[in-house]
Amino acid sequence: EAQVTQNPRYLITVTGKKLTVTCSQNMNHEYMSWYRQDPGLGLRQIYYSMNVEVTDKGDVPEGYKVSRKEKRNFPLILESPSPNQTSLYFCASSLSALAGGTIYFGPGTRLTVT
Amino acid sequence: DQQVKQNSPSLSVQEGRISILNCDYTNSMFDYFLWYKKYPAEGPTFLISISSIKDKNEDGRFTVFLNKSAKHLSLHIVPSQPGDSAVYFCAASDQYSSASKIIFGSGTRLSIRP
């Protein structure tokens, strides 16, 4: 089944404790990205990647890191999480890096930072 | 400044009636518009799209209307069914730009009551 998977689905952590949210897609998509969803703000892009070893900042990159060492994986790293990073996170991928393509989203990771 | 606005955070419609979800945009360069649907504990999924060369696109019970002069689009669901209860995100872009330039609205939570 073609899909985007994320792990963990739920995470509660404390301020400053490094964490990684994994993301993997099995559709051989070139484009991958991370979004966060917050009430009243919709989906905001954190980082995106056009292909292996090519990553760039989205609209809200502060406090996050990403890497794209393999085509299928795009982990999101929070080196020192803070409470304002409490949010619902979505990984996404698309066959095309152009905006006309369909974006496929993962199921989401709900992160709480205390 | 939000380039894509969904001014109604929520909407309640009786089963069998028409649901109309609205979306406004400010960037005249946008020429490709999408609607995504999101159920709780799942990621958004693509629902329907429209290019600016059209003013209407229909897919079963779902129709999207585009009014370029008013920079407004709407999603009509007829007839509304209980399974349509979800959050709907409007999105817009220049379809030949990068997928990273897709802008999402804040979402409208649609509830279909019996």
* pLDDT tens track for B58-87: 999 999 999 999 999 999 999 999 999 999
Whether B99 and A58 lie within 8 Å, measured CB to CB? no
Can you tell me the distance from the alpha carbon of A59 to that of A47, in angstroms, rounded to the nearest whole number? 8
All residues of chain B having their beta carbon less than 8 Å from the beta carbon of residue A94 are 99
Percent of chain A with pLDDT strictly greater than 70: 100
- The span from the CA of B48 to the CA of B30, in Å, is 16
Name the closest residue on chain B to residue A93, using Cα atoms: B99
pLDDT tier for residue A33 given thresholds of 50, 70 and 90: very high
User: Residue B2 has what pLDDT?
Assistant: 79
Rounded Cα distance between B45 and A40, Å, is 19
Residues written for chain B:
114
**What is d(CA B14, CA B77) in angstroms, rounded to the nearest whole number?**
12
Cross-chain Cβ contact B32/A4 below 8 Å:
no
Work out the average pLDDT over B16-34.
96
Looking up tokens 């804040």 gives: B106
Closest-CA distance, A88 to chain B, in angstroms, reads 10
Task: Round the average pLDDT of chain B to a whole number and report it.
Answer: 94
d(CA B29, CA B93): 8
Cβ count near B14 (within 10 Å): 12
- Segment among A16-30, A59-73, A87-101 with least mean pLDDT: A87-101
- DSSP-derived 3-state class of residue B108: strand
pLDDT at residue A97 greater than cutoff 90? no
Determine which helix (DSSP H) or strand (DSSP E) holds A83, and give its type and residue range. Answer: none
Partners of A54 on chain B (C-beta within 8 Å) are none
- Distance of alpha carbon B78 from the chain centroid: 14
Q: Between chains, do B106 and A40 touch, taking CB under 8 Å as contact?
A: yes
Tell me if residue A14 falls in helix, strand or coil. Answer: coil
Two tokens, residue A37: 């969803």
**What percent of chain A has a predicted confidence (pLDDT) above 90?**
88
**CA proximity to A98, closest of B15, B85, B106, B102:** B102
Instruction: DSSP for B3-65, please give it.
Output: SEE---SEEEEETTS-EEEEEEE--TT--EEEEEEE-TTS--EEEEEEETT-SEEEETTEEEE
Judged by CB atoms closer than 8 Å, whether chains meet at A98 and B43 is answered as no
Cα–Cα dist B24/B71, whole Å: 6
How far is it, in rounded angstroms, from Cα B17 to Cα B81? 9
β-pair partners for B24: B5, B72
Average pLDDT over every residue of A27-46: 94
* Cβ pair B45, B53 in contact under 8 A: no
Query: So what's the pLDDT on residue A83?
Result: 97
- Which pLDDT score is estimated for B101? 82
